[in-house]
A and B are shown apart, each in its own frame.
Chain A
Amino acid sequence: MVEFQYVITDREGIHARPAGELVKKANGFQSSITIHKGEKSGDAKRIFAIMALAAKKDEEIRVTVEGPDEAQAAAQIEAFLKENL
């Protein structure tokens, strides 16, 4: 399992568009990708789960990736977050 943390810098947080982009990205991997925020967590391949986290600017999220392509998936998801959120 690979794990990393990220602090949202986008002032609107994970709103519909980036959530959609994230889901698209996550679906490109076999690994299961989970986003945690505090007590809550959501499957990165499910748009409602991601939106329900309501992650806002300055909030920290933790991403866990588990599966055959976990290293590559984690690296790309992290790059995506840095670029878009």
Chain B
Amino acid sequence: MKMTILTGKSVFGGIAIGRLSFYKRGQGTIQRRHVEDTARESQRFEEARQQAIRELKGLYDKALQEVGEANAAIFEIHQMMLDDLDYRESVSNIIETQKVNAEYAVGTTADNFAQMFSSMDDAYMQGRAADVKDVSDRVLRILSGGSDEGQTLTEPCIIAADDLVPSETVQLDKSRVLAFATMYGSANSHTAILARTMGIPAVIGLGERLDPSMDGVTAVVDGFEGRVILDPDAETLAVMQNRQEQEQKRRELLLSLRGKETVTKDGRMVNLYANIGNVSDLGAALQNDAGGIGLFRSEFLYLENEDYPTEEEQFQVYKTAAMNMAGKKVIIRTLDIGADKQAPYFELPKEENPAMGMRAIRICLTRPQVFKTQLRALYRASAFGQIAIMFPMITSLKEVRAIRGIAEGVKSELKAEGIPFQEDVELGIMIETPAAVMVSPELAREVDFFSVGTNDLTQYTLAVDRQNSSLEEFFDPRHPAVLRMLRMTAEAAHQAGIWVGICGELAADLELTEEFLRMGIDELSVSPGMILPLRQKIRELDLSDPR
């Protein structure tokens, strides 16, 4: 076989190299058999059902320990499904009236109940058809005499499958699972969520090019790039092994720093948060022990769509983020489109000077409907965790007041509709224009926090187009002018009693960490991979030392 690269969607980062093992399911096709002794078939079903419930109890306990109550609850619901009288009566009736074997009766009942869910007018309920199949498959497996070991793994390997149901993922011997690679599945499926919680690299949606004939080949699962390399050539393998080693080193650092406080030797606590660009990055943020999300760029919702994302679509994404972070702060930046980030359906006119043109908050304020949709989704999600909202490209007090007005309007709408939300969602602004720095004392009185976007602040302060690569030598984020702007911003924030952070790339510049902390910066938000190196740096600093 020649080296093949399949691309899919990553649900959890990391690199795994190993043998591909296709998930083998116990049962084949169900045969319809005529039986005379229907009482015996009913008895077989009853015994299998009881056995299945015992297994599910075991899985519930296992999942409870490994992935927590919220993820384990599904196995309790599965038990109730098997206890359901309608389900049991359906199986018995089919056995009695058609004089058939228990397997056939269970299979038919499963199809009928799954069909009932699939035909419901509700995406969530449609998804429950998979649960009916999952519990029924368990009973069928027991009827056919199969054991509950699922896949027995003799060596560590990469599990490949069309898709895995929750009971299958939780049953696997995780000490021998290097990664998951599946043909189908969504980022919100039980499997993706469990994989994320367990911290196993996983790439889903690889399509039908991943097929069972590949069982046993050597493969690389690249959870960073969302791809699977089958039968890699020597050169590729060496590159990936190298990346894996780096990853290993990072993990070791992670192990030693996870759960430790981000605090200097003299006791200054710093909030160390993650910058993310999609829900799929949440796993990386948690894995790296982020204290929260300091910048969730919401643009992907707009850039990956052919049309304006609906309130519901956005709500689901923000809610997922809030729930995954489980009470930790999630700061979501409202759409920052325009300039280098264009979505055709916005039909933004071509501009001479897009960096200074119709972008970010300017679009929101000139198209309030688009803005309100996003704010409604954000406030609704605030009922599920600790959401904060941040507005980009602010230059004046007038803008901030306009934003607050619109936010208040959204809140009263939701209240009138009886939709729950958090009343005191923190509202903050990005400081990324020199104008915002100059009026920061006034702005600080109107908002709950500042977060400095150093890339744009550098571009606008130094009048250097950051998209123009020939100007690279002039683009200096460490320019004293930029650093002085940062200091002014921090002072204004503290004077008004609000917190100030940095979420631009400069936040991860380890040579400036000490200076930032001396300025009084309260929060640093960096890409997930930089969190632990930065924590290490901060823990080595002693600000009580005079310079």
Contacts and interface: CB of A to CB of B under 8 A. Distances in A.
Interface of A: 9, 11-13, 15-17, 19-20, 23-24, 43, 45-49, 51-52, 54, 56, 58
Contact of A47 (B73, B84, B124): B84
B211 interface: no
Given A51-B128, A52-B116, A54-B125, A45 B85 contact: yes
Interface stretch (B75-83, B248-256, B492-500): B75-83
Contacts of B419: 11
Contacts of B121: 54
B76 A20 contact: yes
Contact of A54 (B74, B120, B380): B120
B420 interface: yes
Nearest to B117: A51
B125 A20 contact: no
A48 to B, nearest CB: 5
Interface string B403-447: 000000000000000111000000000000000000000000000
B460 interface: no
Contacts of A23: 80
A48 B86 contact: yes
A48 B87 contact: yes
Interface residues of B, number: 25
B77 A17 contact: yes
A15 B81 contact: no
Contact of B73 (A9, A12, A17): A17
B131 interface: yes
Nearest to B419: A11
A80 to B, nearest CB: 16
26 contacts: A11-B419, A11-B420, A12-B124, A13-B122, A16-B74, A16-B128, A17-B73, A17-B77, A20-B80, A45-B85, A46-B85, A47-B80, A47-B81, A48-B84, A48-B87, A48-B116, A49-B84, A49-B86, A51-B128, A52-B120, A54-B120, A54-B121, A54-B122, A54-B125, A56-B122, A58-B418
A43 B80 CA distance: 14
B86 A46 contact: yes
Closest 9 CB pairs of A and B: A47-B80, A20-B77, A48-B84, A16-B77, A46-B84, A47-B84, A48-B86, A20-B80, A46-B85
A45 B88 CA distance: 13
Interface in B36-75: 73-74
B80 A15 contact: no
A20 to B, nearest CB: 5
Interface of B: 73-74, 76-77, 80-81, 83-87, 113, 116-117, 120-122, 124-125, 128, 131, 380, 418-420
A12 B316 CA distance: 11
A16 B124 CA distance: 9
Given A9-B418, A20-B80, A46-B85, A15 B124 contact: yes
B77 A43 contact: no
Contacts of A49: 84, 86
Nearest to B74: A16
Contacts of A45: 85
Nearest to B76: A20
Residue of A12, A24, A43, A51 with highest tally of chain B CB at under 10 A: A51
A54 B116 CA distance: 11
Contacts of A52: 116, 120
B82 to A, nearest CB: 10
Residue of A9, A16, A56 with highest tally of chain B CB at under 10 A: A16
A52 B87 CA distance: 13
A15 B117 CA distance: 12
Given A46-B84, A54-B121, 7 more contacts: A13-B122, A16-B77, A20-B77, A43-B85, A45-B85, A48-B113, A51-B128
Contacts of A56: 122
